[in-house]
Amino acid sequence: MCASRVWIKNPQAIFTPDDIDARGGIVIENGKISAVLSSGETPDKPCESIFDAREHVVLPGLINTHHHFYQTLTRAWAPVVNEPLFPWLKTLYPVWAKLTPEALHLASQVAMAELLLSGCTTTSDHHYLFPQGMENAIDIQVDVVNRLGMRAMLTRGSMSLGENEGGLPPQHTVQLGEVILEDSLRLIRRYHQRGEGARIQIALAPCSPFSVTEEIMQESARLAETEDVRLHTHLAETLDEEAFCLQRFGLRTVDYLEKVGWLTERTWLAHGIHFNDDEIRRLGKAQVGICHCPVSNMRLASGICPTLDLEAAGAIIGLGVDGSASNDASSLMFETRQALYLQRLRYGARQVTPQKVLNWATRGSAQILGRHDLGEIRPGKQADIALFRLDELRFSGSHDPLSALILCGAERADRVMVGGEWRVVDGEINGLDTQALIARHRQAAKQLVATF
């Protein structure tokens, strides 16, 4: 439980909106930020708990807007190490189809623990595999979220277009539309929390143009509007996907998105790389969210998301680690660093700053998920906070603390708070036996690929 009033005082540096003076620290009351203090200022009332942050850089909790937790089981798998997206998927689909409830539980714990240790307090996951015996996959993930004390937007993914109908996934990995929609509604009604401070939310997430039918895209959009939840999918990740859309639908990706009723501020897209100028304008006008996944995009040689052009047009930019088989890590701090470097290749050093990418990883990602109570250190926001030390060898000789986090490659948060509760203390997750988890997860990973 969290103390009713906590003062995180005198941080070495703090990332705040508009670079306001917050060197006096943060006061937290009942799980929310009640005051941000300037240098020399002290709380107006006594605090039950005081943490001296003079050796810490303080950030809003990072927010991950795209992942596939189950893929932690197939990291660095030799047969796909050098493959681009389509053959990578075709090789991995049969492996992933062997997923078990126990393996998913372990994979989700590993993914979320790694995120939490990187300073991430809220995550999204895109789970679209429901082979026989895995019908309750999202329920399994809910249990892990509750155990680790994070926040999560769990998306009920789906695949309904198998190889027999011209799609990419094997036939035994797809579901009927009515099954998908029925389970989607069940999950919304059972788990979706609304309003400030929500811990678990549900979104609808047909997987991609090459794995779902037009009908499930349209019906998901209707259900999302009726139930007031968000929509998520992969789009414009590769040129192969663009060619698929042109051949199957006679439309480019954004035209297809509009046809099925998804060109709306309710929608956020993973990757969003291959857009022309008119498509960028239309996405911006609709205020669609774009989750930039730089490491995955480099790993699979997919391309570079036109972030600044999309942002200038009105789209919302956030960050995501993507699956741990196309990134091979679940560190949002590492992702933020790579976003800086990859986007500088496209736009230049002066246009893409450490502050810019930190904003994408916090406030931008919060907006993508429709969360106006997260992503900023500001009175009234949820007390989701990550604290980093700069006492490792990699930081020796650094001068600007916020820039050092990105440029020198911060990897692990020293402390992480979610809703006013410390979830990470001294670099360790409260209540989690990490070494035992690693041992069980490694065994599950070996078993999954044993017959391939």
Domain with 16 in it: 5-60+378-429
Count up the domains in the chain and report the number.
2
Calculate the average pLDDT of the chain.
Answer: 97
Q: Residue 1: which pLDDT band, with cuts at 50, 70 and 90?
A: very low
Contact, 308 vs 292, CB < 8 A?
A: no
Q: Residue 17: which pLDDT band, with cuts at 50, 70 and 90?
A: confident
CATH classification at residue 18: 2.30.40.10
pLDDT per position as a tens digit, 362-378: 999 999 999 999 999 99
| Cα dihedral 274, 276, 277, 282 sign | negative
Residues 6+ apart with CB under 8 A from 106: 73, 437, 440, 441, 444
Do 313 and 420 belong to one domain? Answer: no
pLDDT per position as a tens digit, 27-55: 999 999 999 999 999 999 999 999 999 99
pLDDT of residue 94: 96
Do 251 and 133 belong to one domain? Answer: yes
pLDDT of residue 3: 56
**Which residue shows structure tokens 């997750």?**
429
Do 91 and 21 belong to one domain? Answer: no
CATH classification at residue 175: 3.20.20.140
* Domain assignment of residue 447, yes or no: no
Do 11 and 130 belong to one domain? Answer: no
Do 55 and 104 belong to one domain? Answer: no
pLDDT per position as a tens digit, 316-352: 999 999 999 999 999 999 999 999 999 999 999 999 9
Do 274 and 140 belong to one domain? Answer: yes
Residue 116 has pLDDT above 80, yes or no: yes
Do 54 and 68 belong to one domain? Answer: no
Residue 130 has pLDDT above 60, yes or no: yes
Do 258 and 213 belong to one domain? Answer: yes
* Domain assignment of residue 246, yes or no: yes
Last residue of a domain, one of 348, 368, 388: 368
HEC secondary structure over the chain: CCCCEEEEECCCEECCHHHCCCCCEEEEECCEEEEEECCCCCCCCCCCEEEECCCEEEEECEEECCCCHHHHHHCCCHHHCCCCHHHHHHHHHHHHCCCCHHHHHHHHHHHHHHHHHCCEEEEEEEECCCCCCCCCHHHHHHHHHHHHCCEEEEEEEECCCCHHHCCCCCHHHCCCHHHHHHHHHHHHHHHCCCCCCCCEEEEEEECCCCCCCHHHHHHHHHHHHHHCCCEEEEECCCHHHHHHHHHHHCCCHHHHHHHCCCCCCCEEEEECCCCCHHHHHHHHHCCCEEEECHHHHHHCCCCCCCHHHHHHHCCEEEECCCCCCCCCCCCHHHHHHHHHHHHHHHHCCCCCCHHHHHHHHHHHHHHHCCCCCCCCCCCCCECCEEEEECCCHHHCCCCCHHHHHHHCCCCCCCEEEECCEEEEECCEECCCCHHHHHHHHHHHHHHHHCCC
* Domain assignment of residue 382, yes or no: yes
pLDDT per position as a tens digit, 408-436: 999 999 999 999 999 999 999 999 999 99
* Domain assignment of residue 204, yes or no: yes
Burial letters 241-253, b for 16+ CB under 10 A, else e:
bbebbeebeeebb
| Cα dihedral 251, 254, 255, 257 sign | positive
Do 124 and 34 belong to one domain? Answer: no
* Domain assignment of residue 440, yes or no: no
pLDDT of residue 168: 96
End-to-end alpha-carbon separation of the chain, Å? 46
Do 317 and 246 belong to one domain? Answer: yes
Q: Residue 4: which pLDDT band, with cuts at 50, 70 and 90?
A: confident
Do 42 and 164 belong to one domain? Answer: no
* Domain assignment of residue 452, yes or no: no
Residue 2 has pLDDT above 60, yes or no: no
Do 389 and 354 belong to one domain? Answer: no
Residue 306 has pLDDT above 50, yes or no: yes
pLDDT of residue 291: 98
* Domain assignment of residue 163, yes or no: yes
| Cα dihedral 289, 113, 12, 421 sign | positive
* Domain assignment of residue 408, yes or no: yes
Maximum CA pair distance of the chain? 68
Residue 399, token pair as written in the block: 């001068």
Residue 18 has pLDDT above 90, yes or no: no
